[in-house]
Amino acid sequence: MSTADMLGELGYSVIEVASAEEAMRLVAQGEHFDLLVTDHLMPGITGTDLARAVRSSRPGMPVLVVSGYAESDGIAADLPRLTKPFRKDELASNLAQLANL
């Protein structure tokens, strides 16, 4: 929730979901979004798995994986990541870098 709040404060329109499976349903239904910000550790599938699934149907989709220090194992090296805890300016900086890729 705090990440969604920060994104809103940064001017993003946020579609918040409770699980990776719910996010994948929205993708399958054709929901439009410009980037994906996901936690790495979630019930069911990981943020890395979600990123791969989203990118398979939407190649080039910018993705930012958020993780705690202990969770960093298992995140694909090619996925941008932001380590918790983070400040709003760090989130903004990471998203700006994604926009330049």
Q: What CATH number is attached to the domain comprising 86? A: 3.40.50.2300
Q: Is residue 101 included in any domain, yes or no? A: no
pTM of the model: 0.87
Share the mean pLDDT of the chain.
88
Q: Is residue 30 included in any domain, yes or no? A: yes
Burial of 49 (0-12, 13-18, 19+ CB in 10 A): middle
Q: Is residue 98 included in any domain, yes or no? A: no
Residue 79 has pLDDT above 90, yes or no: no
User: Considering its fold, how many domains does the chain have in total?
Assistant: 1
Task: Reduce the DSSP state of residue 11 to 3 states and report it.
Answer: coil
> For position 1, what pLDDT does the model report?
64
> For position 18, what pLDDT does the model report?
87
Asked if 7 and 96 count as a contact pair (C-beta separation under 8 A), the reply is no
Q: Is residue 64 included in any domain, yes or no? A: yes
Q: Is residue 100 included in any domain, yes or no? A: no
> For position 69, what pLDDT does the model report?
60
Which residues form the domain of 10?
2-92
